[in-house]
Amino acid sequence: MIKPLRFTRKSLGIPYAVFLVFFVIIPMLVIVFYAFTDKNNHISFVNFINFFSDPTKLSTIVYSLVIALITTAVCLVIAYPVAYILARSKMKQKYVILMLFITPMWINFVLRVNAIRELLNWIGLLGEANYLNTIIGMVYDFLPFMILPLYTTLLKIDESLYEASADLGGNSFTTFTRVTIPLSMPGIMSGITMVFLPSMTNYVVSDMLGNSKVTIIGKFIETYFGSDWHMGSMIALILLIVVFVSTLLSGGFKSEDNVRGTNL
Amino acid sequence: MNAKRITATALAAAFAFSSLLTLTGCGEDKPIRLRVYNWEEYIDEGGEGSYQYDIEENEDAQSLIYDFEIWYEETYDTPITVEYSTFGTNEDMYNQLKLGDQYDLICPSDYMIMKLAAEDMLEPFTEDFFDAKNELNYYIANLSPYIKDVFDSNTVTLKSTGEKHSWSEYAAGYMWGTTGFIYNPEYVSPDELDYWDAMIDSAYANKVTTKDNVRDSYFVGTAILYQDELLDLRDRYENGEMDDAAYNQGVTEIMNRTDEETVSKVQEILLEMKENIYGFETDTGKSDMVKGIIWLNFAWSGDAVYAIDLAEYGEGDEELSEEDAVYLNYFIPEECANLWFDGWVMPKGAQVEAAQAFINFLSRPDNAVRNMYYIGYTPVIAADEVYEYVEYTYGVEEGDEEDAVKYDLSYFFGKETVLLTYEDQLERQLYGQYPTEEVMHRCAVMDYFDDDANERINELWTKVKGSQLDAWAIAVICVGVVGIAAFVLLFKFGGKIDWFRRKPKKGYELVDQKPYRHD
């Protein structure tokens, strides 16, 4: 008798486990190995010491942090009202507006950066304000990643909660600060993680719009991988830790908070 | 459960093994596999951009790689397949080699050839390759005497044994050129443009770009740093105190200085340059020139030719109108320039015979012309066909002889070749593709940096490219970041700490929360 082929739940996870081992865990170990070895592949902390004793590298990582923070803040300020209006309006066309914000994501990234380069040139900012251009480019690129999670959380808030707030004497301001913001916190956090992390490393934007005069930490990793894989790996590892800590702070690891565009 | 897992593993292993067998198993009648590793877009790839393309007669022009496979089988009666792959930078290519990738033929730049040779990673060419009597040896038969001299007279020292070997033992030239400026004569007067220090000249502030790579930037920095010494050398040369070779040697020595003092001074110059230039670019320079965003652009000669063509004729089939056309010029600074070349080398373990046949096929004059047309760079081949093509492209048309100027290319083609050309070509495409002999005397080949120098110069590049913050600024920002982190933590966990909790109004109390419950 032939037994019917049956998959247990565990065996269904095997493809992912294999993927995880080969494309996530092993590369990560390789990075750690390279980071803590010198040119002769001996264990050494020389890269670690070099990184923290080099003011240029420290300045650059600090600059990247600041650029990422500003980008995130600007994205939040722009995205929140948009998401709020879209989520609460009864308008039939609101999906059209939402689509307008999301469709740029479907166009090739390099193409979009090139387009905004032309635009900045036309305005006259290109080459004049490199840091500003970098931030404009980042905001433009990452805005949808902020709008989507905000929109989905705001949409989920029950209308009756607003009514309850009004019943209990809350004016629209208190309703906003005491009901809307706390309830949309998971969306805010998720949006922040999704914007903050890539804007620390997306050097295509800083190269194209900052004319390579703005160097963020991701660019350093790329440059070092041309000449010195060990230092490159060390910078990548340090960035990984920064990212890990900031995700921890924003609670990105909590599963119930994860609402990254689940409705779309 | 366990048994099942073992069966699955065994099955997978058996499958993998059997597919391996089919891949490697059946032996002799398989064609030779020639693994070629080249720069992107650095060979005639056929199609519309190809020299042989003709909309009516030859609509599917084939690539040179395909034609090589046919030619090889016809000539040597052995089937061959070329596995062609490409790289973006010399360093990427080097890393791939170090990781154990095996190739039969690679096309690195000058300094990387020297590095590979010094580290004993290359297979030398066979004696037969240099036998001019063999009619299939197109390379040696058609190589420009100028390039041959450069390859024969320069040496590389093997790290392991300290022996000196000439470049030609390990490398066969492919394309060569110079570095200089592309400029827009509408904004930049050729009379005012003399030296590399245009990069730090405030007259061109925010209107000049340089390459976003360490070697080209270091070259520019060194040229600016030693400008006086270079000009002094030139004066002595012009006064007849030294001959061509000695002058070239002097320039080469200066341009290859990598001692600590030079590096730190070059760093100062490059930092000053960063303030003055519009930006560092890898690919945007050409289009920014055409659009007039910048006036001056550091360029390799081949790119310069491409940019000049693009600005004048546009990209499409239809020519640009008189108003839209932009006329760009190429200029090689007067104190010195970089002579660069890319050449074919065979890594250790390569299939020498087939690899050499590939080089010879590319060196066949008609193929050299095809490559020249497709890529826009200048091949090292100096056959009659190449000269005829140059004449056809840049020579004066009949009836224009009166306005023609003479352009002597004898040094390159090895025989009396004086081209009659239009005057503007003296600073345009022709000058880009074939500089005059006088220019070549001040062109220095840039050696590879040894490990110590490499470390110093990479450090310099980090400092030039990175941000320079004062210690106090770092401190302030760090405090700010920690502050935000603390705020986030408070916001998230503050509710759990008694002190932050909102106290109820007098007379009220919160229920169900331990600290306030009165039992």
Residue A212 sits in a domain of what CATH number?
1.10.3720.10
Q: Are B211 and B217 in contact (CB under 8 A)?
A: yes
Q: Are A114 and A178 in contact (CB under 8 A)?
A: no
**Any CB–CB contact under 8 A between B280 and chain A?**
yes
In a domain, A49, yes or no: no
* Cβ neighbourhood burial of B433 (10 Å; 0-12, 13-18, 19+): buried
The Cα of B95 is separated from the nearest Cα of chain A by a number of Å equal to 8
pLDDT at B196 over 50: yes
Question: What are A13's two structure tokens?
Answer: 């996870």
Which percentage of chain B shows pLDDT scores above 90? 51
In a domain, A229, yes or no: yes
Secondary structure (H, E, C), B325-360: CCCCEEECCCCCEEEEEEEEEEECCCCHHHHHHHHH
**Contact criterion met (CB < 8 Å) for B468 and A249:** no
B269 to each of A184, A211, B222, how far by Cα in Å?
A: 52, 19, 9
**Any CB–CB contact under 8 A between B479 and chain A?**
no
- Give per-residue pLDDT as tens, A177-219: 888 888 998 899 889 888 988 888 889 999 999 888 888 999 9
The segment with the largest mean pLDDT, out of B8-17, B310-319, B506-515, is B310-319
Residue B38 pLDDT grade (very low, low, confident, very high; cuts 50, 70, 90): very high
A60, A211, A228 ranked by CB distance to B279: nearest: A211
Total domains in the fold of chain A: 1
Specify the range with the lowest mean pLDDT, choosing from A79-83, A100-104, B281-285. A100-104
Q: Are B296 and B208 in contact (CB under 8 A)?
A: yes
> What is the model's pLDDT at position B274?
93
> What is the model's pLDDT at position B324?
79
pLDDT at A116 over 50: yes
CB atoms near residue A78 (< 10 Å): 14
In whole angstroms, give the CA distance from residue B36 to residue B84.
5
A101 to each of A133, A145, B500, how far by Cα in Å?
A: 20, 10, 39
Average pLDDT over residues B144-167: 90
**β-bridge pairing B122-123 and B337-347:** antiparallel
> What is the model's pLDDT at position A258?
45
Residue B504 pLDDT grade (very low, low, confident, very high; cuts 50, 70, 90): low
**Contact criterion met (CB < 8 Å) for B279 and A250:** no
Contacts with B471 from chain A: Cβ below 8 Å: 55
> What is the model's pLDDT at position A255?
47
Q: Are B397 and B403 in contact (CB under 8 A)?
A: no
> What is the model's pLDDT at position A167?
87
**Any CB–CB contact under 8 A between B281 and chain A?**
yes
- Give per-residue pLDDT as tens, B320-333: 777 778 889 999 99
In a domain, A1, yes or no: no
pLDDT at B498 over 60: no
The Cα of B386 is separated from the nearest Cα of chain A by a number of Å equal to 36
Torsion, Cα of B225, B227, B228, B234 (10° steps): 150
> Which carries the bigger pLDDT value, residue A184 or residue B8?
A184
pLDDT at B452 over 70: yes
Residue B366 pLDDT grade (very low, low, confident, very high; cuts 50, 70, 90): very high
Q: Are B151 and B166 in contact (CB under 8 A)?
A: yes
> What is the model's pLDDT at position B497?
57
Torsion, Cα of A137, A138, A142, A144 (10° steps): -30
Backbone CA torsion sign across B337, B308, B414, B356: positive
- Give per-residue pLDDT as tens, A231-264: 999 999 999 888 888 777 766 555 444 444 443 3
**Contact criterion met (CB < 8 Å) for A229 and B92:** no
Q: Which residue type occupies B367?
A: N
Q: Which residues of A189-221 are buried (b: 16+ CB within 10 A; e: fewer)?
A: bbbbbbbbbbbbbbbbbbbbbbbbbbbbbbbbb
pLDDT at B173 over 80: yes
Element (DSSP H or E) covering residue B171: strand B171-183
Closest-CA residue of chain B to A120: B293
**Any CB–CB contact under 8 A between B481 and chain A?**
yes
> What is the model's pLDDT at position A257?
44
pLDDT at B9 over 70: no
- Give per-residue pLDDT as tens, B268-288: 999 999 999 999 998 888 888
Q: Which residue type occupies A221?
A: I
Does B3-170+341-380 match B176-336+442-465 in CATH topology?
yes
Residue B23 pLDDT grade (very low, low, confident, very high; cuts 50, 70, 90): very low
Contacts with B481 from chain A: Cβ below 8 Å: 65, 69
A58, A207, A224 ranked by CB distance to B474: nearest: A58
In whole angstroms, give the CA distance from residue B114 to residue B449.
10
Q: Which of B467, B476, B490, B491 to mutate to test the interface with A (most CBs of A within 10 A)?
A: B467
**Contact criterion met (CB < 8 Å) for A56 and B463:** yes
- Neighbouring residues of B362: CB distance < 8 A, sequence distance ≥ 6: B43, B64, B68, B174, B344, B368, B371
Secondary structure (H, E, C), chain A: CCCCCCCCHHHHCHHHHHHHHHHHHHHHHHHHHHHCECCCCCECCHHHHHHHHCHHHHHHHHHHHHHHHHHHHHHHHHHHHHHHHHHHCCCCCHHHHHHHHHHHHHCCHHHHHHHHHHHHHHHCCCCCCHHHHHHHHHHHHHHHHHHHHHHHHHHHCCHHHHHHHHHCCCCHHHHHHHHHHHHHHHHHHHHHHHHHHHHHHCHHHHHHHCCCCCCCHHHHHHHHHHHCHHHHHHHHHHHHHHHHHHHHHCCCCCHHHCCCCCCC
In whole angstroms, give the CA distance from residue B121 to residue B135.
30
In a domain, A147, yes or no: yes
> What is the model's pLDDT at position B317?
61
**Contact criterion met (CB < 8 Å) for B212 and A215:** no
- Each domain of chain B, given as residue ranges in start order, spans 3-170+341-380, 176-336+442-465, 382-435, 474-517
**β-bridge pairing B122-123 and B80-87:** unpaired
Domain containing A87 equals: 55-263
In whole angstroms, give the CA distance from residue B370 to residue B383.
13
- Give per-residue pLDDT as tens, A5-63: 676 777 888 889 899 999 999 999 999 999 999 888 888 898 899 888 888 888 888 88
Cα B449–B450–B455 angle (5° rounding)?
80
CA B18 to chain centre: 43
Average pLDDT over residues B239-258: 92
A59, A126, A228 ranked by CB distance to B466: nearest: A59
Average pLDDT over residues B336-352: 93
Closest-CA residue of chain B to A215: B466
Average pLDDT over residues B494-515: 57
The Cα of A92 is separated from the nearest Cα of chain B by a number of Å equal to 37
Please, what CATH class does the domain formed by B3-170+341-380 belong to?
Answer: alpha beta
- What does R_g of chain A's alpha carbons equal in angstroms? 23
In whole angstroms, give the CA distance from residue A231 to residue A48.
8
CB atoms near residue B384 (< 10 Å): 12
Q: What is the DSSP letter of B445?
A: P
Q: Which residue type occupies B513?
A: Q
The Cα of B484 is separated from the nearest Cα of chain A by a number of Å equal to 10
In a domain, A106, yes or no: yes
**Contact criterion met (CB < 8 Å) for A210 and B279:** yes
DSSP character string of B200-233: G-GGGTTSEEEESSHHHHHHHHHHHHTHHHHHHH
**Any CB–CB contact under 8 A between B95 and chain A?**
yes
**Contact criterion met (CB < 8 Å) for A126 and B293:** yes
pLDDT at B509 over 70: no
Residue B347 β-bridge partners: B122
- Neighbouring residues of A7: CB distance < 8 A, sequence distance ≥ 6: none
Q: Are A75 and A191 in contact (CB under 8 A)?
A: yes
- Give per-residue pLDDT as tens, B469-497: 777 777 887 788 788 878 777 766 655 65
Size of interface A-B (CB pairs under 8 A): 92
Average pLDDT over residues A75-97: 87
pLDDT at B39 over 50: yes
Question: What are A184's two structure tokens?
Answer: 């949309």
Q: Which of A62, A134, A189 to mutate to test the interface with B (most CBs of B within 10 A)?
A: A62
Specify the range with the lowest mean pLDDT, choosing from A51-65, B137-151, B220-234, B248-262. A51-65
Contacts with B9 from chain A: Cβ below 8 Å: none
> What is the model's pLDDT at position B460?
92
Q: Which of B295, B462, B502 to mutate to test the interface with A (most CBs of A within 10 A)?
A: B462
Contacts with A212 from chain B: Cβ below 8 Å: 212, 279-282, 465
The correct answer on CATH 3.40.190.10 for the domain covering B176-336+442-465 is yes
Q: What is the pTM of this model?
A: 0.84
**Contact criterion met (CB < 8 Å) for B481 and A128:** no
**Any CB–CB contact under 8 A between B478 and chain A?**
yes
In a domain, A26, yes or no: no
Please give the mean pLDDT across all residues of chain B.
85
Cα B313–B315–B321 angle (5° rounding)?
40
CB atoms near residue B61 (< 10 Å): 20
Residue B29 pLDDT grade (very low, low, confident, very high; cuts 50, 70, 90): low
Q: Are B40 and B86 in contact (CB under 8 A)?
A: yes
At B58 the three-state DSSP class reads strand
Nearest to B338 by CA among B246, B217, B234: B217
**Contact criterion met (CB < 8 Å) for B278 and A211:** yes
pLDDT at B103 over 50: yes
> Which carries the bigger pLDDT value, residue B317 or residue A96?
A96
- Neighbouring residues of B285: CB distance < 8 A, sequence distance ≥ 6: B182, B209, B211, B294, B297, B298, B299, B303, B307
> What is the model's pLDDT at position A173?
86
Closest-CA residue of chain B to A122: B293
Contacts with B283 from chain A: Cβ below 8 Å: none
Residue B345 pLDDT grade (very low, low, confident, very high; cuts 50, 70, 90): very high
Rounded to 10 deg, the angle between the A94-102 and A130-156 helix axes is 140
B468 to each of A56, A204, B261, B269, B465, how far by Cα in Å?
A: 6, 21, 21, 15, 9
